[in-house]
Amino acid sequence: MPVRRQLRSFDLKQINGLDSLIGVDEAGRGALAGPVVAAAVWINRDFLDGRWVQQRAARVNDSKQLSAADRDDLFQEFELLARQGLIRAHAGSATVAEIEENNILGATKIAMRRAIEAIHPPEAFVVRDEPDLFSTIEDRAGFQARVNGRILIDGVHRKGFPFPHHAVVKGDGRSLCIAMASIVAKVTRDRLMDALGTVHPQYGFEKHKGYGTEDHRQAILQHGRCPEHREMFLRKLLAQRADPSQMDWIGGED
């Protein structure tokens, strides 16, 4: 079965009896540097039955399975769909400081919350009888004043997450709206890391996007960490330095 049909079929089952879905995914959770970025994509039944899904959605997949060029092309299409009011797509991020303070799991929830709140304000969510469903009492962007929907989050259930949600293991390869969110999150974070590459050129952020490649690890061992590095992620690596007290701190502490 083509990927598009699989992803669309999953979302059709999830949206049955509801008005909308919000797919949520993150990028950068395992990186050594940079923020963690989450994205939320709102879709409805009309979108799933619409022309774009029928004609163009076959290209959508888990962002890790797509080339950078394909991700960028789809991101531009999502922007157009959003301008046309067919979808809503927003990204949220948590900084390195927030990762250090809340650990990566807590920071990921912060980023996801910010992405969802860009679609619906927090006061809009009212938990219904079923714990993974919500209804909105206010919609600041002019959609229906009352929307019954479900939040689909890639991965496992987020304990302590402020919004009711349905966890979908490997959801970026199963759900169309989660796959779309994975692309938005990945492209958004990659662009942030490209910009950081111009600020800290010695690390090559624009190449590896902050992940622990051999080149990146060697650059850290040579130059020490910069404020965009996640200290708790580097302790084992920096222990390899002969004299950690001589670390070359670039740009000061976080």
Q: Which domain holds residue 208?
A: 199-238
Residue 139's pLDDT is what?
47
Q: Which pLDDT value is given to residue 106?
A: 97
Q: What is the pLDDT, as a whole number, of residue 244?
A: 42
Number of domains in the chain: 2
- Positions of the chain with pLDDT lower than 70, given as ranges: 1-5, 137-147, 240-254
CA distance 194 to 109: 24
- Residue from 195, 170, 249, 232 nearest 31 by CA: 232
* Pair 132, 182 in one domain: yes
Dist. CA 116–CA 167, nearest whole Å: 15
Stated pTM of the model: 0.89
Q: Based on the domain organization, do 161 and 213 belong to the same domain?
A: no
β-partners of residue 153 are: 24, 167
For the chain, how far is it from start to end, CA to CA, in angstroms?
A: 49
Q: Which residues of 45-82 are buried (b: 16+ CB within 10 A; e: fewer)?
A: eebbebebbeeebeebbbbeebeeeebeebbebbeebb
34 and 98 housed in the same domain: yes
How much is the pLDDT for 25? Answer: 98
Residues 119 and 79 grouped into a single domain:
yes
Q: 252 lies in a domain? A: no
> Looking at the domain assignment, is residue 228 inside a domain?
yes
Which residues are CB-neighbours of 48 under 8 A, at least 6 positions away? 8, 11, 12, 15, 176
Q: What share of the chain is helix, strand, coil (3-state, %, to 5)?
A: 50, 15, 35
Q: Which residues pair with 37 in a beta bridge?
A: 27, 93
Residue 248, in any domain of the structure: no
